[in-house]
Homo-oligomer: A and B are copies of this chain.
Amino acid sequence: MSPMEDDMKLKLDKKDWSEWYNTVVEAAGLSDKRYPIKGMNIWLPYGWKIMMNIDKYIRELMEKTNHEEYSFPLLIRQTEFNKEAEHIKGFNSEVYWVTHGGENKLDIPSLLRPTSETAMYPMFSLWVRNHADLPLKTYQIVNVFRYETKMTRSFIRVREIHFFEAHTVHTDFEDAEHQIVEDLDIMEEIARRLCLPHLKLRRPKWDMFAGADYSVGVDSIMPTGRTLQIGGIHQYKDNFARAYNIMYEDVNGQKKYAHQTTYGMSERLVGTLISVHGDNRGLILPPDVAPYQVVIVPIFRKDNVDAVSEYARSVKEMLDESGLRVNLDDRDLRPGNKYYHWELRGVPIRVEVGPRDMQGHKAVVVPRDTGEKMAVSLDDLVNTIVSEMDQMKERLLGHAREDALSKMAYYPTIEEMPENPEGMVIGAPWCGEDNCGHQMEDRLDMNLLGVPLENYDARDDVDMHRAMMAKFNVDESNLHCAVCGARAKGVAILARTH
């Protein structure tokens, strides 16, 4: 909070990701974890702005795909929560219970939503009457609550989670399957904005979302070589519709159970983009979600403060008008301290304006990731910044891909697999049988995260499964299970997870 902070240079070393992450989150003013309840942290303004920019983009994509935004209550009565048996089992040990209102004991205890199926679906059963009501495409952006017993970490494992959840209702399984393809497309769009390569994997049966017919997990590959799940897309079939009586009359007047899907993401998007892009000088924020895309640092001596300040303000005005998010740092500090301050906070573009720039009607542009300085005429400044930000996005995605790929390996047979490999993400052909999957998990001391969906055509630029297959020249037409040698259903991914 005080200007003193700028004089205290931090030692950052991303090789120790855990220490690096905690230090950067605190020093850049993203989150304060000193709140007296473990795992419930305070979003500080700078961190909150990143999240809000992500939310804004999610809302745009939801609108484009005809989802409508709702806001459901936080509390769910035990009565409604208990209707879908698998779902309760999955969440029972990690929900917060509200038992009293004032001094009165509640007739029926309620819980804080850990996710909103059981809040929404009793209402869906009132709203859905006729095939013309379908598809019903809803979403909300709310906080959910999980009584986490593991070690907590800002944005990555917390007890109050900033959450996006889309819930859709369809006439049949096929239509729900189309929704899942749309969700995967949306996921790739978001990943492109955040420059985040990732894996999209159909989870094995033993690792599905509670109540789902099948689940697709979206996993980011972290600097540790472990994966972090950043999204979940679930086919519910009619499992919940049967439990919550969500029925519609079809064109022939027959009553049928609806089919449902969900799609969830959370503040982990912030945790992973910090981790994947940052360096030893601090954050590097993808331009689309950076609170400030540009920081202007005026460079003056005592005898030209006024002139340079005015020039800096005129540059700011010009950039503001172009729609860029700009901050003019006119604090009374040395320029070097300001550079340090904004590099730590990951502002994509620094613009320096000094007396010589002023005379030449110029400014110096410095992208955060390369640190290269370029003198630019004011007439070209907006275009240069926009084009530099585009190039930075490509570089961020490219570096993230390279780094992820360097951590990936492929083994056609279990015998070739290393024992207890640290920091690796491993691909291996798999027949789909539990037994073979578990044998690989045991050998590697890893989780089997799944295989790609057959009916989804992932895009090369962001999908790391595709990238791995290409790197190791895997012939998909002739795959045999790494354990039993039977025909494989696909190349499974195994990894340790955060």
Interface residues of A (CB under 8 A from B): 1-3, 32, 34-37, 40-45, 48-49, 52, 68-75, 77, 79-80, 92-104, 110, 112, 119, 122-123, 126-130, 132-133, 143, 145, 147, 149, 160, 162
Give the residue name and chain of the B residue nearest to A105 (CB): B97
Interface centre among A42, A44, A101, A110, by most chain B C-beta atoms within 10 angstroms, is A101
Most buried by B among A77, A92, A102, A122: A102
Question: In the assembled complex, which residues on chain B have CB atoms less than 8 Å from the CB atom of A52?
Answer: 69
| Shortest beta-carbon distance from A153 to chain B in Å | 16
Of B2, B40, B73, the residue contacting A160 (CB under 8 A) is B73
Q: Are A40 and B73 in contact (CB under 8 A)?
A: yes
Given contacts A48-B71, A71-B48, contact A132 B37 (CB under 8 A): no
A45: chain B residues within 8 A (beta carbon):
68-70
Report the nearest B residue to A49, measured CB to CB.
B69
Chief secondary structure at chain A's binding surface: mixed
A71 and B42 form a contact (CB under 8 A): yes
Q: How many copies does the complex hold?
A: 2
Asked if B101 and A37 make an inter-chain contact with CB atoms under 8 angstroms apart, the answer reads no
12 of the cross-chain contacts (CB-CB < 8 Å) are A1-B127, A2-B130, A3-B132, A36-B80, A37-B73, A37-B75, A37-B110, A43-B72, A75-B160, A92-B102, A94-B102, A97-B98
**Closest CB pairs A-B (n = 6):** A101-B147, A40-B73, A43-B71, A45-B68, A97-B100, A93-B102
CA distance A133 to B32 in the complex (A): 17
| A82–chain B nearest beta-carbon distance, Å | 13
Give chain B residues whose Cβ lies under 8 Å from the Cβ of A32.
123
Specify which chain B residues have a CB less than 8 angstroms from the CB of A133 in the assembled complex: 1-2
Question: Which residues of the partner chain B approach A122 to less than 8 Å between Cβ atoms?
Answer: 36
Query: Which of these, B97, B102, B128, B149, contacts A99 with CB under 8 Å?
Result: B97
Chain B residues near A129 (CB-CB < 8 A): 1-2
Q: B41 touching A73 by the CB < 8 A rule?
A: yes
Q: How far is the CA of A162 from the CA of B233 in the complex (A)?
A: 29
19 other contacts beyond A1-B127, A48-B69, with CB at 8 A cut-off? A2-B130, A32-B123, A35-B72, A35-B119, A35-B123, A42-B70, A42-B123, A43-B71, A43-B72, A44-B70, A48-B70, A49-B69, A52-B69, A93-B103, A94-B102, A95-B101, A96-B98, A96-B101, A97-B98
